[in-house]
Structure 1
């Protein structure tokens, strides 16, 4: 098991990527306005100032605060302090809705749902927790002659980011910008690419970002041959094994959108990941 000293002292706190120094420092490194504010009863809260449509430039806490305890009065007091420091929009992790109301925030978007894969058990326990169809696809992939390799990524040009950019254009979605991913990757050990090969050719790849005891499933691509061979199931399972061996306790698989992308939702939850409900998006009222 390795030390997380390279992750800015947040080694003991399970934080979502957007609240971790890895992300916030990268935002600042590419010219953004990011800060961490100490508040009682929570991990330091990451704020990013950004322009959001008619609201203009506002401070956003994305997937924060991450509270140490659910004490509504104390949470509300801390949130009032964050408002005084400029906080205007919160995408809540959940459990603090009453405190947000008391602090003068109003909900403007319903909660998202997230898939979180527990890595604290061994590989056999993770396999037993998989849905039957997912486990069957993994078994077929293990017999398909695929080779899995991984390496650290330090932010240089990479085929996976090129493939993902094309995929985003084709499927009409947007992910974190490459310049931000590269800024995070320049922190030694923070970004790792896993590749699946068949007969020497790359058929699938994924990028994970490592932040303290948590890792995030960030970027993924699978070609036609990889889909035929169920390469991404094997790739993700082996990535989870590697992360668990290196001290990570959770792999964040990202939002689960059953109506917008049911196939991806089934893939994420088929791993045995837990579906967790967030707390929605909240706006400070009055805004100014």
Structure 2
């Protein structure tokens, strides 16, 4: 007989120190970069927001971790939760999930007027998720966010076999093009790479974390950042940054040149990055968002890895 969780046990909000946070974060398996401790430190240093972290538990059993970014103006507090909480239970199968959501909403909306919560909940795009959030008095203000989870547990040969044909052909082309891949393992070299990334980001006018934020993230947890560059002869032609958090990682940033694009450097960089993540014990890679309408080319590139597409319920206020 399967034990049914006791939903009568009071769900409580508790403070959580970093050592325990990191242990639970890893135990969660799939986790989000925006909820990582180091990400919170980078937000504090670069954006001047206050980070609040809590563990939601019932009867001593951890149920979820949540990190928020807060700002106060006079008597008004604005809190934002991005892709949280990190679930330690199944949010659709465990009835206590609604209590967890209620505890989070209650913590940030204590006063009817003066407390505001903007919440991109880590809940699937599902009528049950919408009902849970609406029952707390929240309403959707932004449509759902979508991305791709790539399971890194299978052997590299199996992952390669699951690549879409065009993606695999581009990888083979890059492997035979004379492009070399180097790990960026020194802060000075990372800063050089981030300057190239910022230049590319401004040229293409796309939204994303700037170089200063990525540098702050690296300072908060240098071992979490996997930065790789592609070189053709003596010239840097492309680069990517992957960030590990718990048992997962996120494809955070990239840049390329015309030579890198022609040589399919990004396919080779991401493939080598996947190999490095697997060697470091990562089990999941979040490909950092897909939007087939505004960025169809990037979406096709990410979908070509053969991962599992997911969509979240959306942002609620």
In 2 relative to 1, CA 50–252 (structure 1 residues): closer, same or farther, beyond 3 Å? farther
Alignment of 1:258 with 2:292, yes or no, is yes
| CA–CA separation in structure 2 for the residues paired with 1:137 and 1:50 | 46
| CA–CA separation in structure 2 for the residues paired with 1:7 and 1:210 | 15
Alignment of 1:49 with 2:70, yes or no, is yes
Alpha-carbon offset, residue 7 of structure 1: 8.6
Conserved 8 A contact 2:195-2:211:
no
Q: Which moved more, 1:97-106 or 1:247-256?
A: 97-106
Q: Which moved more, 1:266-275 or 1:22-31?
A: 22-31
| CA–CA separation in structure 1 for the residues paired with 2:20 and 2:139 | 38
Q: Which moved more, 1:221-230 or 1:103-112?
A: 103-112
Alignment of 1:170 with 2:203, yes or no, is yes
Q: What does residue 4 of structure 2 align with?
A: none
Match of 1:82 among 91, 97, 104: 104
Conserved 8 A contact 1:155-1:185:
no
Q: What does residue 174 of structure 2 align with?
A: 141
Alpha-carbon offset, residue 12 of structure 1: 2.2
| CA–CA separation in structure 2 for the residues paired with 1:212 and 1:100 | 27
Alignment of 1:86-125 (within 5 A): 86=108, 88-95=117-124, 96-125=129-158
| CA–CA separation in structure 1 for the residues paired with 2:188 and 2:100 | 37
Conserved 8 A contact 1:214-1:248:
yes
Conserved 8 A contact 1:42-1:65:
no
Conserved 8 A contact 2:190-2:227:
no
Number of aligned residue pairs: give it.
276
Alignment of 1:230-269 (within 5 A): 230-269=264-303
Normalised to the residue count of structure 1, the TM-score between the two structures is 0.87
| CA–CA separation in structure 1 for the residues paired with 2:316 and 2:93 | 19
Query: CA offsets per residue over residues 127-157 of structure 1, 9 Å max, x none?
Result: 1111000001111111111111113354876
In 2 relative to 1, CA 267–80 (structure 1 residues): closer, same or farther, beyond 3 Å? same
Q: What does residue 37 of structure 1 align with?
A: 54
Give the CA RMSD over aligned residues.
2.4
Alignment of 1:12 with 2:33, yes or no, is no
Q: Which moved more, 1:88-97 or 1:187-196?
A: 88-97
SS in 1 for 2:223: coil
Q: What does residue 180 of structure 1 align with?
A: 213
Q: Which structure 2 residue ranges, 5 or more long, are not aligned? A: 1-18, 110-116
Alpha-carbon offset, residue 206 of structure 1: 0.7
| CA–CA separation in structure 2 for the residues paired with 1:124 and 1:151 | 25
Structure index of larger Rg:
2
